[in-house]
Amino acid sequence: MISITENNECCGCGACNNICPSGCIDMVPDDEGFLYPDVDFEKCIDCGLCEKVCLYKQFGDDDKKKPDCYAMKAMDNELRENSSSGGVFSLISYDILQSGGFVYGVSMDENNKSCSFLKVGKCEALNPLRGSKYLQANAGEVYKMVKSDLDNGNKVLFSGVPCQIIALKLFLGKEYDNLYCVEVICHGVPSPLLWKKYIEYIERKNKTSVSAVNFRNKNGGWKNFSLKIDGVGFTQSKNISNDPYLVMFLRNYSLRPSCYNCKAKIGDSSADLTIADFWGIEKILPDMDDNRGVSLVMINTEKGRCVFENIKALTLFAQVPYDFAVSNNTAYLRSCSMPKERQEFFKDLNSMDFEMFSKKYSRVSAYKKIKRWLSTVKKQLGL
Ligand SMILES: Cc1cc2nc3c(=O)[nH]c(=O)nc-3n(C[C@H](O)[C@H](O)[C@H](O)COP(=O)(O)OP(=O)(O)OC[C@H]3O[C@@H](n4cnc5c(N)ncnc54)[C@H](O)[C@@H]3O)c2cc1C
């Protein structure tokens, strides 16, 4: 039976819970809000399946293949505006949906306080899956649902962070010709508890509930994206340097312990395609960069190549060297480091008033403020 002794050795993918034949594993949140397996030993039949599907019980190899890499953006500007990067995920999804398949991806839950996997069967229903949600998604029973669709002969596109793709593959235990997987490069997944407390704080402050959330609002440009939160009678939009939630995410305080020790970055990708933001595009293809979003696309398999061929006419694209692409997106190869304040951060999350907590962990020093102001002035003067 699965036993987690160190919390940085469980990524919360939920594959053990999906595979357990006796239903003795529940996914239960810890005091940081991350889900971990909780085994009912009385019901356990010791079949060992939970360990077989656990990414953290497998061994990898460090030598990655170097996939072909492309800069790509959808020609449909509205679609791109509503996507985090260049809108490639939607084009891949349309390709699968138009051939009669299903798409699984992550959507915000109804109250906007959590997110989980959703199955979509029509292009018109794709909107909730569009855009990054920067908190860990609850996998629920998604792997079982995907398997059932695959066994019924349906074409399926499964999208998620790399550990979820590996979890699905380990859960399935065999290759399916009708399965397509697309992963996003992942910086790490923030705590669902932190997100819930943030939304509850905003609701208290505005005395109304939150009705919509966009983690990648591009009003100030793709590179200076903001977190936009709407409710009845209010809109809050703060960018990467002044939204407390985004600041805490990008300072690596709020990530799951296993993200600082990510096993999904070891060895070759399990996905057919890897997609991400093409950071650094202005240095290599300045004409392609309009600050509205460009995707990095990596082709890992022949299936991935077929999908790429199907969608490329709907995009502007150019091949780029692997080393350049990866040097501007280190999250592809390396886990981020754990800040020394992380333990105190979660202790404070559970004990402090949220306003004081968020001020403590998202404060920007006077030195940084001056540096930022100088860089804005320089840009305005064209220096
Ligand atoms: C937690 C997280 C961390 C990321 N870190 C990086 C990074 O370090 N560098 C980088 O270049 N890109 C990162 N990305 C990916 C990036 O934000 C875009 O999602 C990606 O470039 C695809 O953009 P798009 O325009 O093609 O499509 P979009 O429509 O923006 O793509 C949405 C896709 O993201 C998936 N998704 C959304 N939220 C989640 C979630 N919580 N868990 C799992 N899957 C989710 C959806 O299922 C869908 O496949 C991250 C995404 C997430 C969710």
Pair of tokens at residue 25: 């594993």
Q: Examine the domain organization and report whether 46 and 68 are in the same domain.
A: no
- Residue with the smallest CA separation from ligand 1 atom 29 is 130
Which atom of ligand 1 is nearest to 182's Cα?
49
pLDDT tens digits, residue range 21-59?
999 999 999 999 999 999 998 888 989 999 999 988 875
Q: Examine the domain organization and report whether 184 and 46 are in the same domain.
A: no
pLDDT at 60: 54
Pair of tokens at residue 377: 């002035």
pLDDT tens digits, residue range 88-100?
999 999 999 999 9
pLDDT at 64: 76
pLDDT tens digits, residue range 255-304?
999 999 999 998 888 999 999 999 999 999 999 999 999 999 999 999 99
pLDDT at 269: 87
Which atom of ligand 1 is nearest to 88's Cα?
26
Cross-strand pairs, 118: 105
| 28 belongs to a structural domain | yes
Vertex 66, ends 60 and 67: CA angle to 5°?
Answer: 110
- Residue with the smallest CA separation from ligand 1 atom 31 is 131
| 326 belongs to a structural domain | yes
For ligand 1, residues with CB inside 6 Å are 83-90, 105-106, 115, 129-135, 137, 159-161, 184-187, 189, 275-277, 295, 329, 331
Query: Residue 284 C-alpha to ligand 1 middle, in angstroms?
Result: 23
pLDDT at 58: 76
Number of domains in the chain: 2
Q: Examine the domain organization and report whether 216 and 101 are in the same domain.
A: yes
Query: Residue 246 C-alpha to ligand 1 middle, in angstroms?
Result: 14
Burial of 352 (0-12, 13-18, 19+ CB in 10 A): middle
| 311 belongs to a structural domain | yes
Q: Examine the domain organization and report whether 220 and 142 are in the same domain.
A: yes
Which atom of ligand 1 is nearest to 159's Cα?
49
| 380 belongs to a structural domain | no
Q: Examine the domain organization and report whether 267 and 255 are in the same domain.
A: yes
pLDDT at 312: 98
Domain boundary among 57, 73, 91: 57
pLDDT at 2 over 80: no
| 229 belongs to a structural domain | yes
Q: Examine the domain organization and report whether 177 and 67 are in the same domain.
A: yes
Nearest-Å Rg of the Cα atoms of the chain is 21
pLDDT at 61: 52
- Residue with the smallest CA separation from ligand 1 atom 32 is 131
Which atom of ligand 1 is nearest to 296's Cα?
21
pLDDT at 76 over 60: yes
| 359 belongs to a structural domain | yes
Q: Which domain, by its residues, includes 41?
A: 7-57
pLDDT at 5: 78
Q: Examine the domain organization and report whether 24 and 77 are in the same domain.
A: no
pLDDT at 4: 78
Q: Examine the domain organization and report whether 46 and 131 are in the same domain.
A: no
pLDDT tens digits, residue range 310-341?
999 999 999 999 999 999 999 999 999 999 99
User: Which pTM was predicted?
Assistant: 0.92
Query: Residue 276 C-alpha to ligand 1 middle, in angstroms?
Result: 7
Q: Examine the domain organization and report whether 259 and 284 are in the same domain.
A: yes
**Cα distance between residue 91 and residue 75, in whole Å:** 10
**Cα distance between residue 337 and residue 277, in whole Å:** 21
Question: Rounded mean pLDDT of 121-133?
Answer: 98
Q: Examine the domain organization and report whether 241 and 351 are in the same domain.
A: yes
Q: Examine the domain organization and report whether 90 and 140 are in the same domain.
A: yes
pLDDT at 382: 65
**Cα distance between residue 279 and residue 66, in whole Å:** 18
| 166 belongs to a structural domain | yes
Q: Examine the domain organization and report whether 48 and 85 are in the same domain.
A: no
User: 122 vs 63, 94, 116, 196, CA distance in Å?
Assistant: 39, 8, 19, 30
